[in-house]
With several copies, the nearest count.
Chain A
Amino acid sequence: MTTMWKGPSRVPEPEDPPGPDLSVDLAPGNPRELRLTNPVIAASGCFGYGLEYAGVIDVQTLGAFVSKGITRRPRSGNPMPRIAETPAGMLNAIGLQNPGIAGLIRKYPRIWETWRVPAIVNISAESVEEYAEMAAILDEQPGIAGIEVNVSCPNVARGGYCFGWDPGMSAEVTAAVRAATTLPLLVKLSPGAVDIVSVALAVEEAGADAVSLINTLVGMAIDTRRRRPVLANATGGLSGPAIKPVALRMVYQVAGSVRIPVVGMGGISSTEDALEFLMAGASAIEIGTAIFVQPSLPLEVIAGLEVWMRAQGVENLGEVVGAAHPAGIPLRRSHAQVAS
C-alpha cells in the first residue's frame, strides 16, 4: 500500500482484528496523489470550511472535506430567503457567499495544515481565465490537498450559458486549471448537461484526475400566499434524498465510461445509500444536505461501511466499486488491487 496523504485517522487498538481496507486514491495518475483513509467526503457548501463542524464531530476521521465554493473576489451572496424545503429535498440559492480566495488563504490553509483530514477547495468562476488564476493561487498554498472545480457556473463570455452543460467548455476550464496547478484536480459535473457522459469524457481527456457528480438540479418553489417564488433568487439548487435516483443514474452512466475515479453524490443519507453509489461505480462519495440533518452521518457511514465489509467478507472497497454493472466498468486505479 502506498503512503497515506496524511496519517491514519484512527490509531488501531491492539485488540482490533485486521480491518478491511477503505482507503482510496482519487488522483492515481497524479504524483501528488489524493489518498483518503476512507471514501466519505463532506460536500461543498454543506460543511463550511471544516471549522464549523470541528466542535461537533471528529472532523479528522473523514475521508476528506470540500470547502464552500470560493470565488476570485469576496461575495455577499443572494438576498434572503435563500433556502426552501421541498419534498425530501431542499432548494438553496446562497449565491456563493464567501470571503474570496484571498480571504480563504488568509485564514484556513494554516489551520488545515495542522489537520490530518485532507481539505479540498471548491472553486467557481465566470471565465476560463478566472478559474486558472484561482488554481494557480491555490497551487502554492500549504494545507490544500486538492481542488474541486465547480463548472455549474454561468460563462459570462458565452452569454451566461453554463460551462458544465457543454463538453467543450468544461474541457476548456479543465485544461486551463490543469495547466495552472499540479494539485489533484476533481471536476464537479452539472446534472443540467443533456449528456453528462460526454462532458465527463471531455474533462477526463483534458486532464482531470477525477470527476465528482452531481451538483444540484435547478428547481423552484412558489409561495401561494405571496404569489411569488419562495426564494429571493426565484430558482435554486435542489439537493437531498429527492435527487438521489437521478444522481445515481448519472454516476452509473459516467462510471461505465471514464477510467478516472468518480466521486458520487446526491441525496446520500445512509450507509445503504453510500453503497448504492459505490456499486454504481463511484470510488468515493460526498455527503451534503444530509449533514445538515445529522452532523454525525459521515462518521456513521464510515463505520457502517466497515461493518458491512466485515459482514460481507469484502477486504478492499475496490471489490464493490461498479459491482452493479452486469458487464463491469473500466478498470480504475483508485483502490489497491485485490490479492487473488
Chain B
Amino acid sequence: MSGVQGALVHHGRSREIEGDVVALEPAMGDSTLLTVRVPSAVAAEIRPGRFFDILCRPDGSSDPLLRRPYSVFASDPARAELQFLVRPYGRGSAWLARRRRGDVLDLLGPLGNAYTLDPGARHLLMVAGGVGVAPLVLLAREAVASGRNVVFLLGAADASGLLAAGHLPSAVEYVVATDDGSKGHRGFVTDLVPDYVRWADQVFACGPEPMYRSLRNGLLPLRIGNRPRVQVSMEREMACGLGACLGCVVETKRGMRTSCVEGPVFDMDDVRW
C-alpha cells in the first residue's frame, strides 16, 4: 500500500475499504449470506437501498474486470458488521459465494441513494422479488424500529427460494407467493399487491424490471392520483459506481439520471417505462 492511499483513507476521502469475511451461511435457497467486518464509520453510513461495489476476483487477475454492486441486507454498527445476500448467478457472485472466513474483500461504498420514509407514513407495503429482498429487509427493520406497520410481500420460484421469516422483525406481516404454489399464493408476488394498496401510505419495491412493470400495471387503476407513493430500486450494470461513466442511467421525466448516484432508488412515477 502506498503512503498516498493510506493518507486518503486517513482523511476519510476514499470509499475503497477492506472488509474481513467473518461468516458465510446459506440463506434463501442457494444464496449465501455473507457477513463482513468493515470500519465502524462505514457501517454507520448505511441506509436501506445503498450498496457496495465489490471486487469479485483474486489479486493480480483482471477478469472479471468490473466490480459488482450488492445491496446491504443488514448492518450492525456496534459490531461494525455488514451483511450481503449473494445469489449465485454468474462469475462474480459465484466467486463471492465461495469466499471463506478470514478472506479480505475490496469494497467501494456505500454508494447510491436510499429509500425515503415519508414522515407521516404509518403503513408501509414492501414488494420483493427474489434476491431483491436485500434492501427491503433492512428497510423493514428500520421501519418497525420507528413504530411503523409493515406488510412484506416476497415472490420466488418455489418455497425453497423464500427468505426464512426469522430474518424479518416479528412485527412484520410477511406474505409470500411462489410460481409453483409450493408455498403461499400461487403466482406472481404482484398479484398480492391490490389487497394492500388502500391500506398503504407508501410502497417500496425491489426486484427485476418485469416485476415493476406488472406492479405498475396493477397499481394504475387503484391509485388515487400518485398516492400511495411508490419507490423502486432500478438494477443497472455499473462500471464506476460514482456517476462518472454514465453507463448506468435511467431515463426519467427529468432526463437521464445515474442509478449509482441519483439512484438506485427512483420514484416510480419519475421513471419513463
**Direct touching of A and B (C-beta under 8 Å):** yes
Choose from B55, B67, B245 the contact partner of A94 (Cβ within 8 Å): B245
Other-chain contact of B243, A52, A58, A291 (Cβ < 8 Å): A52
B117 lies within 8 A of chain A by Cβ: no
Query: In angstroms, how far is the closest chain B Cβ from the Cβ of A49?
Result: 9
- Set of chain B residues within 8 Å of A302, measured between Cβ atoms: 4
Which residues of chain B in 226-243 are interfacial with respect to chain A, using CB atoms and an 8 Å cutoff? 236-243
Among candidates B15, B236, B249, residue contacting A295 with C-beta atoms closer than 8 Å? B15
Q: How far is the CA of A97 from the CA of B244 in the complex (A)?
A: 11
* Contact pick for A293, options B8, B13, B55, B261, CB 8 Å: B55
Within 8 A of B (CB), among A261-320: 269, 289, 291-296, 299-300, 302-304, 307
Q: What residues of chain A lie closer than 8 Å to B240, measured between beta carbons?
A: 46, 52, 291-292, 295
| Interface-located stretch among B58-66, B122-130, B158-166 | B58-66
Mask, A75-95, CB within 8 Å of B = 1, is 011001111111111101010
B residues in contact with A85, CB < 8 Å: 64-66, 237
Interface size on A, residues (CB 8 A): 44
B11 to chain A, nearest CB (A): 8
Residue in B closest to A97 when the chains form the complex, CB atoms: B246
Q: Determine the chain A residues whose CB is within 8 A of the CB of B238 once the complex forms.
A: 83
How far does the alpha carbon of A296 sit from the alpha carbon of B5 in the complex, in Å?
7
CB interface residues, B 54-95, toward A, < 8 Å = 55, 62-67
Query: With A295-B16, A302-B4, A303-B5 in contact, is A77–B256 under 8 Å at CB?
Result: yes
- Shortest Cβ distance from residue B174 to the other chain A in the assembled complex, whole angstroms: 33
Q: B108 within 8 Å of A by Cβ?
A: yes
Whether A299 contacts B245 by the Cβ 8 Å rule is no
Q: Which residues of B from 189 to 225 have beta carbons under 8 Å from A?
A: none
Chain B residues with CB under 8 A of A299 = 2, 4-5, 8
A84-B237, A88-B65, A294-B16 known; A303+B2 contact, CB < 8 A = yes
* Given A47-B244, A77-B246, A296-B14, residue A269 in contact with residue B237 (CB < 8 A): no
Q: In the complex, what distance in Å separates the CA atom of A302 from the CA atom of B251?
A: 38
Closest-by-CB residue of A relative to B237 is A83
Q: Is the CB of A48 within 8 A of B2?
A: no
B120 interfacial contact with A, CB 8 Å: no
Task: Assess whether B2 is in contact with A307, with CB atoms less than 8 Å apart.
Answer: yes
Q: Which residues of chain B come closer than 8 Å to A191, judged between CB atoms?
A: none
Asked if A77 and B8 sit within 8 Å, CB to CB, the answer is no
Q: Which of B8, B238, B246, B250 has the most CB of A within 10 A?
A: B246
B residues less than 8 Å from A241 (CB atoms): 62-63, 65
B26 at the interface (CB under 8 A from A): no
Contacts of B244 in A (CB 8 A): 46-48, 52-53, 68, 291-292
B3 within 8 Å of A by Cβ?
Answer: yes
Q: Is A154 an interface residue (CB 8 A)?
A: no
B-contacting residues, A3-62, CB 8 Å: 45-48, 52-53, 55-58, 61
CB pair B62–A87 under 8 Å, yes or no, is: yes
- Report B-chain residues with C-beta under 8 Å of the C-beta of A81: 237
Answer whether residue B181 sits at the interface, using C-beta atoms and an 8 A cutoff.
no
User: Is residue A322 within 8 Å, beta carbon to beta carbon, of the partner chain?
Assistant: no
CB < 8 Å: which of A57, A88, A289, A300 contacts B13?
A57
The winner among B7, B108, B247, B255 for most chain A CB atoms within 10 A is B247
| Set A55, A77, A84: member contacting B249, Cβ < 8 A | A77
User: How far is it, in angstroms, between the C-alpha of A170 and the C-alpha of B53 when the chains are bound?
Assistant: 39
- Knowing A46-B245, A56-B14, A85-B64, say if A303 contacts B237 (CB, 8 Å): no
Q: Does A240 contact B (CB under 8 A)?
A: yes
Q: Which of A82, A94, A240, A307 contacts B65 (CB 8 A)?
A: A240
From residue B92, how far is it (CB to closest CB) to chain A in Å?
9
**Is B239 within 8 A of A83, CB to CB?**
yes
**In the assembly, what is the distance between CA of A58 and CA of B4, in Å?**
9
Q: How far is the CA of A307 from the CA of B1 in the complex (A)?
A: 12
Decide: A56 near B246, CB < 8 A? Known: A293-B55, A299-B8: no
Quick one: which of B1-41 are within 8 Å of A by CB? 2-5, 7-8, 11, 13-16
The minimal Cβ–Cβ distance linking A6 to chain B, given in whole angstroms, is 19
CA distance A77 to B257 in the complex (A): 12
Residues in B neighbouring A296, C-beta threshold 8 A: 4-5, 8, 14, 16
Complex alpha-carbon distance, A48 and B243, angstroms: 7
Minimal Cβ-Cβ distance residue in B for A55? B13
Closest A-chain residue to B92, C-beta based?
A85
Residues of chain A with a CB closer than 8 A to B65's CB: 85-86, 88-90, 240-241, 289, 293
Whether B5 lies near A92 (C-beta < 8 A) is no
Q: Return chain B residues, CB-CB under 8 Å to A83.
A: 237-239, 245, 247-248
From the candidates B4, B62, B108, B255, name the one contacting A88 in the complex (CB within 8 A): B62
Chain A residue at minimal CB-CB distance from B242: A52
Indicate whether A53 sits within 8 Å of B256 (C-beta atoms), given known contacts A299-B5, A302-B4, A303-B4. Answer: no
8 A-B pairs with C-beta separation under 8 A: A48-B245, A82-B248, A88-B65, A240-B65, A289-B239, A292-B66, A293-B55, A303-B5
Q: Which residues in B have some Cβ–Cβ distance to A below 8 Å?
A: 2-5, 7-8, 11, 13-16, 55, 62-67, 108, 236-251, 255-256, 261
Residues on A close to B: CB < 8 A? 45-48, 52-53, 55-58, 61, 68, 76-77, 80-90, 92, 94, 97, 240-241, 269, 289, 291-296, 299-300, 302-304, 307
A-B residue pairs, 9 tightest by C-beta: A48-B244, A303-B2, A83-B247, A303-B4, A52-B244, A241-B62, A292-B240, A88-B62, A292-B239
